[in-house]
Structure 1
Amino acid sequence: MFASAAIALVAVLWWATAGALDRQTDAAIRADAIALAERWREAGATGLAEAIEERLAVDVENESLYLLLEAEGTRRLAGNLDRWPNAPAAEGAWFRTRVLHDGVAAEARLHRLDLPGLRLIVGRDESEREQLRRLLTEGVLWASGAVVLFALLGAWMLRHALQTRMRPVFATTAAIAGGDLASRIALSGRGDEFDRLAQTLNGMLERIVTLMEGVRGVSDAIAHDLRTPIARARAKLEDALSDVPDEAALRAAVEQGIADLDGISRIFQALLRIAEAEAGARRAAFAPLDLVPVLADAAEIYEVAAEARGQHFATDLPERLELVGDRDLLLQAIANLLDNAIKFTPPGGTVTLAARLLPAAIEVAVADDGPGLVPEDRAHAGERFFRADKARATPGSGLGLSLVQAVVNLHAGELRLEDATPDRTPPGLRVVLRLPKP
């Protein structure tokens, strides 16, 4: 690109110089020919010859060329050309040829003009201009060659510089491909685009390592949390098989084993829903909806559960909340929050479901009068299988808030945990979902 642009520039310069010389010469010859023709019309052949001689007398540079002959003969009336040059027969023809003037051979640019009874040649000696044109042409060729050389050299230097700056990236990616996830791209300290690229890639690698550790932790948690119910179900079935006094006891043992297996199945279903939400697989089910009926359905279901535990269930919902999202996932997320709130609220406490429309978002909040979460536990509340110390004795798998977090992320929203009543002990917990307006 550099070579093409530079060569185009040189070509334009050549055309503007050598071409300008040609146009200047033609303009001078044309003006001279018009003036001589006008002189002929005023003073005839004698006046024309005198005008030519006057021009030759004041031509210090000896560049002007003239020849005036009789139309039918070869008698020379005026001029400094030794003979009539080989010229086209057409009147007003322009041509270049070698001529002799004053006994000297030269390259000339000539214009033939036929007048009644006369033949006139007007021209200019182009020897110096031809030499200048030749010098310009040689300069253009040398300059073009230098441009190509510098372009190739610059391309090689640029490629070498790029390879040098990208070599740490190649080395790091090769190490990672070989299984060394601890490798990171070294920064040059210049703060340029390559350093920003390296920082982005290093951040991506850190995220990958975090995800890998998360997968490893989830696998360990799954193995730990499923081992106990599976072992318990197996022990009960073995006891029922070996020592069952009657059919009723056998049926009770089988029903208890089925309940344990259902709990294991619910854990796997929750993991699958979280995986679908995190992968964005449910985004195809997004549709415009009114969130208020969804919240009302969840409140109707869990109000009965709250009353059964001696709790008060309160709602504060507007008339409409227009949203674009997955109705089933949103209902599942709200249900998980209400289930947790009822689970940790003591008898006589209050569970509140509220929603409101903000300028740029829709806010849904579930508050309870439970023990709440300390700030250290809030940072891990969205992780799979995480359970705070206060919740160890409460039934659950630690996947409820993980699903809520995944659903909120799928809807490009925000999940926030805070104290429901900071001035009371225990402060309770208020979980806030902020979902973007359509």
Structure 2
Amino acid sequence: MITELDTRTLLAVLCMALALSSLALALLYRLHRSLPGPRDWAIGMVAISVGVGLLYGRNVIPPFWSIAVANALILVGHAFLVAGARRFLGRSAGWPLLAGIVIVFCVPMTLYHDVPEAMGLRIISISIGMALLVFLGTWTIIRDSRFQLLNAHQAVAVLLTLHGILNLARAAQTLLEPVLATDMLRLGPSTSTFFGWGILFFFGLTVGLAVMVTERLRDLLQDRLVKENAARCAAEAALQEQRNFLTMVSHEFRTPLGIMAASADLIACNLPVDDQESAEELDRIHRASRRLGNLVEGCLADDWLESVSQSRRSGELDVGAVLAELAKEYNVVLHGAEEPLPVDADPYLLPIAFSALLDNACKYTTTPEGVTLSCRQEGRTVEIAVRDDGPGIDPADVSRLFEKFYRARRTQHKPGAGLGLHLVQRIVALHEGNVRLEQTHGTMFCVSLPVLEA
């Protein structure tokens, strides 16, 4: 009676362990639907848990369900576990072989489910069937696994091997010792030991399968990182080649452009006063050479900015002092900046941005006095404004104003390459600031920079 109670208790615990394993594998499949294998594992574990539950209901439900159907579900569940392992390792499920094993070893249980004296035959059949299935899974894992220290594939293979050996030992014991009992729960300590092992086996198998999925995701992530790193290195190499080519071409353009400009100046000096047609052609040559020269200089400046953008120098810089020097250079009036306005900036990059804004303003203003420069502190930011009284910017061009090589329609007749404002935005962004356009009273570009805290 004590043996019966212990066996039934272990069988109940095994049912609960299988239910928890089924839930865990179902969640694993839900989280990783794209991976082959977890779906089959979840189906197999559910089938085994239902089969063991039917075994637990023996003497309550008809023998066909508690013997034939229960043992068939246990074999089918093992087949799904093996098929999932094969698919997880990139092989075909091998259902013809798995289905053949299930069918062959289900026949005795189906034919003799209502014969109490055939208990031993049923035990031998189910034990050998499970042993063959798990050995097939072990062979698949051994062939396709990369054996390393503390590898989950090794742990699962060891568990499957032990499970198969214990099933064969159970079949051999049953074959050598005739079974006198007609109820599985009264077979003695060997059955209790087998159920206890089942609890440990299915718990360990669930953990091992989950760790196998984790290792697969880790390997996929490492492979993706390697590929992305290789792609990044290739892109950086291509970008560097492009920069080298652009620098070489831009540098080589300077000499012929200088020759063109010097030759045009020489011809203009010796040109008769009344030769208006030649004077117009020379003027066209001057404009074209200036436009191309500006384009070359802009390309070189943008390429240089690309190379220093990742490592700009940092230091305290008085914006007021920088603007005062630029105001003298461009002959404009500076408003504000009576007190030092320190910012964390590159002492070479930031003046380039202000110089580009002033150069644009002087280029498009209608009168030399129409350009104004102002600087003031508002809270924790420094506001720099460059205003001109030029024709302004068409609203249709505002959205593309800071794009590389873009020029507004109203400025096509002016020299330039469409890189000035692009460089301004890049430099200001490197200093964690922003630049915006306002056209309420003329055209005004406002730059905001964070004040350097003491």
With the length of structure 1 as denominator, give the TM-score of the two structures. Answer: 0.43
Instruction: Indicate the structure whose relative CO is greater, using CA pairs within 8 Å and at least 6 residues apart.
Output: 2
More helix by share: 2
With the length of structure 2 as denominator, give the TM-score of the two structures. Answer: 0.42
Q: Larger radius of gyration, structure 1 or 2?
A: 1
